[in-house]
Amino acid sequence: MTEPISTVSLPRSQLIVGGQKSGKSRRAELLARAWLDGAPDREAALIATGQPWDDEMRERIARHRRDRAERVPGMATLEEPLDLAAMLARHSTPQRLLVVDCLTLWLTNWMMPAQPSEELTRGWSGQCAAFLDALQGAPGPVILVGNEIGLGVIPLGSQVRAFVDALGVLNQRAAQSCETVTLMCAGLPLALKGPQP
Q: What is the pLDDT of residues 148-162, one digit of tens each?
A: 998 877 778 888 888
Q: Answer for the pair 181, 192: CB distance below 8 angstroms, yes or no.
A: yes
64 is catalytic: yes
Residue 1 pLDDT more than 50?
no
Whether the predicted pLDDT of 42 surpasses 80? yes
- For residues 109 and 82, the answer to whether their CB atoms sit within 8 Å is yes
Q: pLDDT of 52-68, one tens digit each? A: 878 888 898 888 888 88
Which among 64, 71, 173, 193 is annotated as catalytic? 64
Beta strand pairing status for 180-185 and 43-48?
unpaired
Write down the domain spans for the chain. Answer: 13-193
Q: Check whether 192 has a pLDDT greater than 80.
A: yes
Note the pLDDT of residue 5.
58
User: For residue 4, with 0-12 CB atoms within 10 Å meaning exposed, 13-18 middle and 19 or more buried, which class applies?
Assistant: exposed
How far is Cα of residue 89 from the mean position of the Cα atoms in its chain? 16
- What's the mean pLDDT in 77-88? 96
CATH code of domain 13-193: 3.40.50.300
Helix (H) or strand (E) holding 188: strand 188-193
Is there a contact between 33 and 43 (Cβ–Cβ < 8 Å)? no
Torsion of CA 41, 84, 142, 99, to 10 degrees: 70
Residue 145: CA atoms inside 13 Å, Cβ hemisphere, count?
27
Task: Of 134, 195, 168, 180, give the one whose Cα is nearest residue 16.
Answer: 180
Contact, 53 vs 114, CB < 8 A?
yes
Helix, strand, or coil (residue 5):
coil
Mean pLDDT of the chain: 90
- Picking from 183, 146, 185, 186, the residue whose alpha carbon sits closest to that of residue 196 is 183
Burial (CB < 10 A; 0-12, 13-18, 19+), residue 81, is middle
Give residue 4's pLDDT.
54
pLDDT tens-place string over residues 162-184 = 899 999 999 999 999 999 999 99
Q: What is the mean pLDDT of residues 39-46?
A: 96
Could you tell me the pTM of the whole model?
Answer: 0.91
Amino acid symbol at 105? L
Mean pLDDT of 1-18: 73
Render pLDDT for 85-138 as a digit per residue (tens, 0 to 9).
999 999 999 999 999 999 999 999 999 887 777 777 778 999 999 999 999 999
